Structure 1
Amino acid sequence: MNWKDFDKGVFLVNVVGVIYDPEKEKILIGKREGDEFLPDLSWSFPGGRPTYKHSLSTCLRMEVKKKTNLDINVIDCFFTRALPERPEFLMVYYFCEVIEESDKPKAGEKFKEIKWVKPTEVVKYFTTSVDPVVMSFLEALESGDI
């Protein structure tokens, strides 16, 4: 499919989780390398492209499990946006919490490394844009307002 054939209305949907561990008061991010669609991407929130067979939140749980070995509760969708770097990519952001860590988190599919960081520290790691709405959410999370 050539994206340039469409002038509007066609997006590649990605679901991502801001995964919070209330005990650690940190969120989980993953390091990627060699992304064919976003070459400048280094660290990101866990997630992926949903299938047509399941709801977006179910797909997010499955993608997070594959990439981090963690089970999560998907709490709420808090933001959507088209990526400035790739306007055909529609990102759907969910707030999630870790279900008691019965399994150790470990880097899986497409992640070389995963790391727990304070919510506002993502700007130190991410090499692609972080939307101001997402940053406001992370600031509120870090300050305990969420």
Structure 2
Amino acid sequence: MKQKIGKQSVSGAGSETRLTPFEDALHLATMLRVSMNGRDIGAYLLTKGIQKDRLCFVFGFDCKGIHTTLRPEQIDTLFNNIEAGLKDIPSGERMTLHLGSFSSDKERQKELASLIRNAPSRDIKYLLMAERARIKELTSSGIRK
């Protein structure tokens, strides 16, 4: 594993200062890249605290979210698939998932803008513009996902 750099003396403007390198504060051992079955996979390899023989692999990925309005039979199928995928994790290993949710109304805004341009009457245009403003408001407040 990587060795700590240790405090270094840095001189500048007539004085000398002792600084600790940023790299010493990280648990990053290395970054790795694996090509398998036509896919490139990358990860960070971290050391676990003071135990230099324990490693942690950190993978980052995007996936389609689980919608909150699914029907019960859809939820069962989804979670059965997740469970089947997790069965290959070796006994004694741990996995931590950090989840985030990000929303974008870009596609819906483009669709509404097109409808506004082609609306046959002024009344319909006003209704579409109101919906467009409401979607923007909901997205900004984090309610629309």
Q: Which of the five TM-score ranges fits, normalised by the shorter chain? A: under 0.3
> Normalization by structure 1: what TM-score?
0.23
More helix per residue: 2
TM-score, scaled relative to structure 2: 0.23
Structure with higher RCO (Cα < 8 A, 6+ apart): 1
Greater Rg over alpha carbons, structure: 2
Name the structure where strand makes up a greater proportion of residues.
1
